[in-house]
Amino acid sequence: MSTQVDKTYSAADIDRAVSKAIRTFEANQGDKFKELMAAEKAEAARLAKMTEQQRAADEITKQTDALAQREKALNTREMFTETQKQLVAEALPPEFASFLTAESAEQTTANLTTFKAKFAEAVAAAVDGRFKGKPPASGGSPGSTSWQQQFADAKAKGNTLGVIRIKRQAAAEGIQL
């Protein structure tokens, strides 16, 4: 049988616990805080040595840099959105936009073109691999009539992959369906 005892804390206990937590926090964050303070003091000392005109020029430079940084972030977001739109227009998965987006529009377009070609190759290889080793449905020697019959049968059954396979095989033999 276990008994549960409620413990009460005095104000002194709470003060000690809070003080300990503050000391732990300061010990863990102290180095970061000291580095920030040292950087601020160095910046203040640097600004103190400047003339009013130099300070104004420095402030303009800082603002220009911040604006350039925001503009770069905005351009990156716009490039990402445009890449997603292009992927959707090309019937490719838009989830690949983050991999294809680059610093410039030219590089992004080049990435998209390369990806489109490689993706089509991979899909074609997967489709070919699925049907590899399977004989034609009619079993005879495939003449142009046989290809047409296989094509019509696959289309009638709604077998899209079969239609694609038959079209590719017929095209490889120079037969237009």
Domain assignment of residue 4, yes or no = no
pLDDT for 121 equals 92
pLDDT for 46 equals 87
Residue 65 has pLDDT above 80, yes or no: yes
pLDDT for 137 equals 54
For 73-117, write each residue's pLDDT tens digit.
Answer: 999 999 999 999 999 998 999 999 999 999 888 999 999 999 999
pLDDT for 149 equals 83
pLDDT for 5 equals 64
Residues 78 and 45 in one domain: yes
Residues 107 and 31 in one domain: yes
Residues 40 and 88 in one domain: yes
pLDDT for 110 equals 94
Residues 51 and 103 in one domain: yes
For 7-63, write each residue's pLDDT tens digit.
Answer: 788 888 888 999 998 888 877 777 787 888 888 899 888 888 888 899 899 999 999
Give the pair of three-digit tokens for residue 15: 């003060």
The dihedral through the CA atoms of 151, 155, 159, 164 has a sign that is positive
pLDDT for 73 equals 92
pLDDT for 114 equals 94
Q: Which domain holds residue 38?
A: 26-129
pLDDT for 156 equals 86
pLDDT for 2 equals 54
Residue 173 has pLDDT above 70, yes or no: yes
Residue 143 has pLDDT above 70, yes or no: no
Measured CA distances, 107 to 20, 92, 114, 133 (Å):
55, 18, 11, 40
Residue type, 78: E
Residues 71 and 138 in one domain: no
Distance CA 82, CA 102 (A): 11
Distance CA 58, CA 63 (A): 9
Task: Count, in order, helices (H) and strands (E) of the chain.
Answer: 6, 0
